[in-house]
Amino acid sequence: MTVALVTGADGFIGSHLTETLLNSGYSVRAFCQYNSIGSWGWLDSLPDSTKEDIDVVLGDIRDPICVREAMRGCDQVFHLAALIAIPYSYVAPSSYVDTNIHGTLNVVQAARDLGVQRVVHTSTSETYGTAQFVPITEDHPLVGQSPYAATKIGADQIALSYWRSFETPITVLRPFNTYGPRQSARAIIPTVITQIASGRSAISLGALTPTRDFNFVLDTAAAFLSVSQCDSALGQVVNAASNFEISIGSTVQLIAEVMGREVEIMTDQDRLRPTKSEVNRLYGDNTRLKQLTDWQPRYAGIEGFRRGLKETVDWFLDPHNLAMYRPGIYSV
């Protein structure tokens, strides 16, 4: 049985990937952020029968000793642990360097020393900045328009340098805008859903004109699994995109439609990025991923997006789930 470590398993995508790996017959060790109350993050919300199958390790990705010990005995590593909130990267950029760049260095160095069979490192479509051509292929220039994006570019290059320098078996997976159950309300889709679900008809948002390429979280998790099983993906950057583009404004209207509500949009200046930092267009090309593997997005196009939104809305409308959020309160 393949033993896989998932760093950031307590997070949104990481918890879904953990479930996907377990369902695919993997033995999963979940590396979660240490905290004084022993919380496993979103893994705490999984059924008890599922949690019993997970080997949870609490630690800190910034600590090379923690990382090395967590990776010992693992065949594969899915590296998702990162600071990801763009607004908070304006406030605390040094913490992003420590977590995203140094954390990735800790992972790839340990992988090299321990002889790990495969590392899948998580990138982000934010590394491309505003699209200079569409659809965005993996050859698109990298532009750090926020401290977050800059540190992810650095982390990607650290990972790839270990492939080039030491043949450490690494693939960089670059997901576009993932959404679904358990996502933080810092993201646009949960922000809209939670405000509407709490009874608001006037919702506060930032910019409406930027476009995004949204991916349902199960498609993203499937992409991780696919590239981890593909030797031809070693040393490569691979987009996980839906090849579907929609504006934030149109996304809001579609969510309102799915929820059977009419909404008024109010611009909140605190939610706007600095002008030169806003990524105005993201629309990805997934050709490489489909050529290398048998991956296909199950939630593709406008109808797939609508279906993914319906599943996401249904999760948030569960009172237990909605109670974990603070609708209308903007936290960076």
The rounded distance, in Å, linking the Cα atoms of 194 and 105 is 36
Residue 20 has pLDDT above 90, yes or no: yes
Q: What is the pLDDT of residue 269?
A: 84
Q: How confident is the model at residue 214 (pLDDT cuts 50, 70, 90)?
A: very high
Residue 30 has pLDDT above 90, yes or no: yes
Residue 315 has pLDDT above 90, yes or no: yes
Q: How many CB atoms lie within 10 A of CB 287?
A: 14
Mean pLDDT of 169-184: 98
- Global pTM reads 0.97
Q: What is the pLDDT of residue 200?
A: 87
DSSP 84: -
Residue 272 has pLDDT above 90, yes or no: no
Q: Which residues, 6 or more positions from 260, have their beta carbon under 8 angstroms from its beta carbon?
A: none
Q: What is the pLDDT of residue 267?
A: 83
Greatest pairwise CA separation for the chain in angstroms? 56
pLDDT tens-digit series, residues 125-169:
999 999 999 999 999 999 999 999 999 999 999 999 999 999 999
Residue 332 has pLDDT above 80, yes or no: no
Q: What is the pLDDT of residue 217?
A: 98
Collapse the DSSP code of 305 into the 3-class scheme (helix H, G, I; strand E, B; otherwise coil) and give the result. Answer: helix
177, HSE (Cβ side, Cα atoms, 13 Å): 26
Mean pLDDT of 173-191: 96
Domains in the chain (CATH in brackets) are: 3-178+214-240 (3.40.50.720), 184-212+246-281+301-322 (3.90.25.10)
Mean pLDDT of 5-20: 98
- Angle at 12 (CA atoms; ends 58, 210), nearest 5 degrees: 140
Mean pLDDT of all residues in the chain? Answer: 96
Per residue in 34-65, is it b (16+ CB within 10 Å) or e — as a string? eeeeeebbbbeebeeeeeeebebbbbbbbebe
